[in-house]
Amino acid sequence: MDRRKLLHGFDCVLRLQALCGGIILASWLIFWAVENPVGSIRDLFLYVLTQVNLTVVLLHPLKFLYEDRNSRYHWPIHVLAILAVNCVVVVTSAAVIYSVHDWNSPFLEFLRHSWKFPFVANLVFAFSYELYKVSTRRLRRHNQLLQRTIEVEIAGREADAIELQRAREIQENLLPKSIPQIPGFQIAGTWEPAKAVGGDYYDVIQLTDSKAALCIADVSGKGISAALLMANVQAAVRAFATESVSPAEVCGRLNSVLCTNTATEKFVTLFYSVLDAKHGILQFTNAGHLRPIVISHDGSVARLENDGALLGIFPDWRYEVSTVRLATGDTLVLFTDGITEAEAANGEEFGEERLIDWLVRSRHLRSDILQLRLLDEVKKFSNRALADDATVIVASANSFATEAVQQTLGRTQLSYSGVHND
C-alpha cells in the first residue's frame, strides 16, 4: 500500500471520529432540550463511539449489495442487511455499557429496557450512511463515465485535428510549390485558408517557354468537402491545360466533369487564362469568378469582362474566350472573394473599391512583394480573422519584356478586347 492510500485511510478515520463527536454533541443537546439529560456523558460517548465505528466497519463489506446491480432484489437484501448489522451493533454497544457498570439486573434485562433509543438512533445513522455511500458511488460512476466520454471526445478531436493537418499538407502540396516564370513577366501567388483546409485553388502552369496558364478558383462551401472538390478541380485543370486547348475549351470540359460527378448544390467559380509573353496577350475565360483587375503603369484601371456561367450548374453552357493586351508596367491581379469580403470588426467589408485604391498606390511593387503585402493588408483589416479563404495571383509585365512586345505595344498602349475600364 503506497503512502497516498495510507494518508487517505487515516483521513477517513479522522473524519469518522469527528462525526462521532458531532453526534455526541447533538445527542447531548437533544437530551438537554427535553429536560431529560443522560445519566453519564461517558455512557453517551461509549454508545456513540461504539455504534458509529462498528456500524461503519460492518457495513463496509456489504458494499457489493449496491455495487452489483445484476440482482433484481439487491435493495430488499440491502435493507435486511442494514437491520441485521444494526441489531449486532446495538447488542454490542449495550454490552460495552453494561460492562462498565455494576448492574444488579441480568444483561438481557438491561438490554430489554435500553435497546429502543440506541436502535432507532443507530438505524437512522446506518441508513443515512448507506444512502451517502450509494449516492457517492453513483456520483463516482457517473463522473467516471463522463471522464471516459470526455477522453473519447478529446481523442476523437485530436484524431480529427491530425487528419485536418494531413489534409492541409496534402492540399498545400497540390498548390504550386514554385511559380514558373516566363520572359517579360513576373508572376507570384499566395493562398491563405480561413480554416485548416479550404476551397480556394490557384495554379500557374507553364505550357511553353513563352506561355503559361494562370487560373484561380473558388469552390462552394468550406472544410473537407470543399478541399476534396478543390483537389478534383486541380487534377482536371492540370489534365486539360495544354497549349492547343483554349481557355473556353478547358472551362467547358471542366464544367462537364463537375456537372456529372458532383452534387447539385456544389459549384465552382473559375478564371482560366493563357498568358503569351511573346506577343503580350492574355486569353481568358471567366466561369462566374470575380473579375480580375489590370492596373497600368500610369494608374489607370481596367476590369477583365467575360460572362461565363458557374462550373457544375449548367451542363450545356458554351464558354467564350476574351483577349487583352498587356503593356510593360501593367499588373494583372486575380483574387477570390476572401479578399474583397473580408470584414472589419464593425462588419464593413474590404470591398473592391478599397482593393483597387490599394493596388493603384502599390502598383510599383514587385509581384511577389505586392501579393504578400495585399494579403497582410486584408488580414490587418479583418483583425487577423479571415472568414473565408483568401487567394491572390499577381502577374506584372516588367521592363524585361521582349523587344517584339515593346514594338507591338509601346510603353503606353492599352488596347483591350473584352475589357471594361472603370
Residue 410: band (very low, low, confident or very high) from pLDDT cuts 50, 70, 90? very low
- The answer to the question of residue 218 being in a domain is yes
Give the H/E segment covering residue 213: strand 211-219
Residue 44 pLDDT > 90:
no
| Rg over CA atoms, the chain | 42
Residue 263 located in a structural domain: yes
Report the range of poorest mean pLDDT among 127-136, 226-235, 273-282: 127-136
For residue 327, give the nearest of 242, 422, 409, 237 by alpha carbon.
409
Residue 222 sits in the same domain as residue 76: no
40 & 125 share domain: yes
CA distances from residue 407 to 7, 87, 283, 415 in whole angstroms, order as listed: 94, 116, 20, 14
H or E segment to which residue 116 belongs: helix 116-174
And the C-alpha cell for 348? 464593413
Residue that terminates a domain, selected from 133, 151, 169: 151
Both 352 and 307 in one domain: the answer is: yes
246 domain residue, yes or no: yes
Task: Give the span between the Cα atoms of 331 and 359, in whole angstroms.
Answer: 9
Which of 134, 151, 168 corresponds to the end of one domain? 151
pLDDT, tens digit, for every residue of 292-316? Answer: 999 999 999 999 999 899 999 999 9
Extract the C-alpha cell encoding 104: 444488579
Query: In the 8-state DSSP scheme, what is residue 182?
Result: -
Q: What burial class does residue 334 get, using C-beta atoms within 10 Å of its C-beta: 0-12 exposed, 13-18 middle, 19+ buried?
A: buried
Same domain, 137 and 286: no
pLDDT at 213 > cutoff 50: yes
Q: Closest Cα partner for 320 from 214, 269, 254, 248?
A: 248
Regarding predicted confidence, which is higher, 225 or 258? 258
Are both 197 and 273 inside the same structural domain? yes
Bridge partners of 201, per DSSP, are: 217
Give percent of the chain above pLDDT 90.
40
User: What is the reported pTM?
Assistant: 0.63
Q: Which residues contact 207 (CB under 8 A, 6 or more apart)?
A: 213, 241, 242, 243, 274
Q: Is 161 contained in some domain?
A: no
Domain assignment of residue 279, yes or no? yes
Would you place residue 220 in the very low, low, confident or very high pLDDT band (cuts 50, 70, 90)?
confident
Domain boundary among 136, 151, 166: 151
- Between 74-99 and 116-174, two packed helices, what is the crossing angle to 10 degrees? 130
- In this structure, the chain runs to a length of 422
* Shared-domain flag, residues 138 and 198: no
- pLDDT band at residue 127, thresholds of 50, 70 and 90? confident
Q: What is the DSSP letter of 220?
A: S
Q: Looking at the structure, tell me whether residues 75 and 224 fall in a common domain.
A: no
Same domain, 93 and 216: no
Q: State the pLDDT at residue 400.
A: 41
pLDDT at residue 69, as a whole number: 56
Rounded Cα gap, residues 123 and 126, in angstroms: 5
Domain assignment present for residue 198? The answer is yes
3-state secondary structure of 366: coil
Q: What mean pLDDT do residues 10-36 have?
A: 66
**pLDDT mean over 199-217:** 93
C-alpha–C-alpha distance, residues 346 and 236, integer Å = 40
Which pLDDT belongs to residue 401?
42
- Is residue 50 situated within a structural domain? yes
CA 206 vs CA 231, 238, 316, 361: distances in Å: 19, 11, 29, 30
Under 8 Å between Cβ of 325 and 281: yes
User: In the structure, what pLDDT confidence band is assigned to residue 23 with cuts at 50, 70 and 90?
Assistant: low
pLDDT band at 414 (very low <50, low <70, confident <90, very high): very low
382: domain CATH number is: 3.60.40.10
Rounded to the nearest integer, the mean pLDDT of the chain is 82
- The pLDDT score that the predictor gives to residue 161 is 75
Burial tier of 167 (Cβ tally within 10 Å: 0-12, 13-18, 19+): middle
Q: Within 10 Å of residue 76's Cβ, how many Cβ atoms?
A: 10
**Which residue would you say has higher pLDDT here, 250 or 53?**
250
Residues 86 and 201 grouped into a single domain: no
- Determine the average pLDDT of the residues in 203-221: 93
**pLDDT for position 196:** 66
State the total domains in the chain.
2
What pLDDT is recorded for position 36?
Answer: 57
Q: What is the pLDDT of residues 384-406, one digit of tens each?
A: 888 888 999 999 998 544 444 44
- Give CA–CA dist 387/218, Å, rounded: 14
pLDDT of residue 11: 72
Helices (H) and strands (E) in the chain, counts: 12, 12
On whether both 91 and 231 belong to a single domain, the answer is no
Identify whether residues 196 and 247 lie together within a single domain. Answer: yes
Average pLDDT value for residue range 45-56:
77
For residue 108, the enclosing domain spans 3-151
Residue 165 forms part of a structural domain: no
| Residue 420: pLDDT band with limits 50, 70, 90 | very low
For residue 7, pLDDT over 70 is answered with: yes
Per-residue pLDDT averaged across 373-389, rounded? 89
Across the range 66-86, mean pLDDT stands at 70
Mean pLDDT of 87-105: 80
145 and 196 share a domain?
A: no
Locus of grid cell 492596373: 295
